[in-house]
Amino acid sequence: MASIISSQVIESLTPGRFIAALILLTISSFVVDFARKPLYSKALPRVGPGGSFLGTLKSWAYFLTRYHTWVAEGYEKYSKQGRAFVVPSAPYRPQEIVIPRSQAAWMLEQPDRVLSTKEAHRDTLHNDYQFFGVDDEFPIRTIHKHLARNIASLIPAVQEEVHAAIDDTFGKDVENWTSLNLWEAWLGIIPRVTNRILVGAPLCRNQEFLDCQVGFANDVVRNGFLLDMVPHIFQPLVAPFIVLPNWWHWRKSYSHARPVIEQRLYDLERQESGDDPAGDDWKAPEDMLTWLIRQAKAEGLTSELNPEMLSKRILPVEFAAIHTTVTTGFNLILDLLSSDPSLGYIDTIREETSRVFAEENGAWTKQGLARLHRTDSAIKESMRFSHFARALTHRKVVAPEGVTNPVEGWHAPYGAFLMLDLAGTHRDPELYPEPDKYDAWRFSRQREAYEAKSAEEKGDAEEAMRVKKLGMVTTSAEFLAFSHGRHACPGRFFVAHELKMILAYLVQNYEFKPLAERPKSIWIGSSFIPEVQARIEVRRRKRRV
């Protein structure tokens, strides 16, 4: 009987019926997802297709090409009037409430039990699948605890790695101009320098290990787009196949990292027991690997003290550091080379960095890097001008009762997403005169004017504080490149030092041909995708530093 029923079922599965069932299942999954999305107050204005069933269908069709213009429209119509608005999101994600700058403090001051950064990142990046269920909370806590106190002592190692990586990537030919793919060039620098403080030398120079970390970062970006298009009820079935490249890149990198991690665990354990692994003079390398081990022991988290878990804990940091810093450095060079050569941006940075470098006796220090006011301004202005995402500050409503906005009175239920509009803020003429122009000294002018004043004129404490906040690491509701609030990027101080050292070495040791036109980036969904095929012409300077 069973065999007869089975044969009848198989015979009934004609191609037409199979396709019809598949279509019905897809439509059903969409309906279920639509019904599960948080419903927003009708008092909130909307841009783009409406929040209805048909409006959501329409947002599917246009999200990748129109999201940027929807948010830009809302910023002009509502944000500048101090009002929040709703914008369509990726097909299987909740629509987002864009919070105006005037209400940013309210959003950022909400406790994590009400508005969660962690849960927003978890949903946006699909952490459970892409990072194998390991979130970034423990690594971020470790960075907060250890990076700032060690950053001054890390600078010599970072300088060494920066110089070696640039020499290897850009070459030493002083006679001939070389055409370089700029994106690939930055990939030759940032992963290596970043891993000097993550896993130390010599692993940071292992090219196969670095290639796997870059591959993993690329996987996260690509698969994030793909998973946003998959209904939630299908994700447990489909996601494990989509993230197979993530798993492959991690396993391959782990094969190189495992001996290093095992040795570090062994050495630190022996040192702790009083039996130093290399004699009384042995010191543990100050890098992320050591910090994670120390932090796990301090918190009694024995489950963290195994090579596999430690290697996975580094993955979110690798992704964040590689993806964002490469894009920032890539944009910086394009902004400088496509500016009017008569403005002398590169020559001025060359003079400043060479002068301070000489004053520091050829070795960068925290204090020396802090004196690079124009270099700092040029980098910060590029981060303002050449943003790579519409928004970097997101919060998810995790309070079961939701949250009510005290200014406008609207209510956001559990599961709602809130965000600050970075691109609109950074290109607002009320905040930045001529916002669509790259002005390398936009932030250093005010600092230099203040420094030129007499001691008597500098007596205004309010002005002194305002000038102090002009540096690139200071976040605000007007400058969101590192996000803002207590969850702002914890690694931004290292990134600032890293980028300054890289730019200093590049301009001191290489000549660059100006670009007649800046290569165009394009918006895809909420991301601004750089022209990764862009090439530049470089030549080693005969007078090297």
pLDDT at 7 over 70: no
474 is in which domain, residue-wise?
131-540
Residue 328 placed within a domain: yes
Residue 185 placed within a domain: yes
Place 8 in a pLDDT band, splitting at 50, 70 and 90. very low
Q: What pLDDT, in 10s, does the model give residues 179-225?
A: 999 999 999 999 999 999 999 999 999 999 999 999 999 999 999 98
Distances in whole angstroms, Cα of residue 57 to Cα of each of 29, 91, 223? 13, 8, 22
**Considering the entire predicted model, what is its pTM?**
0.91
11 or 515: which leads in pLDDT: 515
Residue 436 placed within a domain: yes
Note if the bond before 202 is cis, omega within 30 degrees.
yes
Residue 46 placed within a domain: no
Contact 79, 98 (CB under 8 A): yes
Distances in whole angstroms, Cα of residue 213 to Cα of each of 117, 218, 244, 479? 24, 9, 15, 29
Residue 4 placed within a domain: no
List residues bridging with 404 in a β-sheet.
411
Residue 37 placed within a domain: no
pLDDT at 471 over 70: yes
Q: What pLDDT, in 10s, does the model give residues 289-323?
A: 999 999 999 999 999 999 999 999 999 999 999 98
Phi-psi region of 495 (alpha: psi -120 to 50; beta: other; left: phi over 0): alpha
Place 467 in a pLDDT band, splitting at 50, 70 and 90. confident
- What integer pLDDT is reported at residue 94 of this predicted model? 86
Listed residue (502, 519, 501, 508) closest to 542, CA to CA: 508
Sign, CA torsion 119/125/127/128 = positive
Per the structure, the count of domains in the chain is 1
**Three-class SS string for 502-523?**
HHHHHHHHEEECCCCCCCCCEE
Work out the percent of the chain whose per-residue pLDDT is above 70.
88
Residue 510 placed within a domain: yes
Residue 420 placed within a domain: yes
CATH of the domain at 348: 1.10.630.10
Q: How far apart are CA 70 and CA 49, in angstroms?
A: 9
3 or 131: which leads in pLDDT: 131
Is 489 one of the annotated binding-site residues? yes
**pLDDT-wise least confident of 19-23, 493-497, 505-509, 531-535:** 19-23
Contact 372, 504 (CB under 8 A): yes
Over residues 401-425, the mean pLDDT reads 95
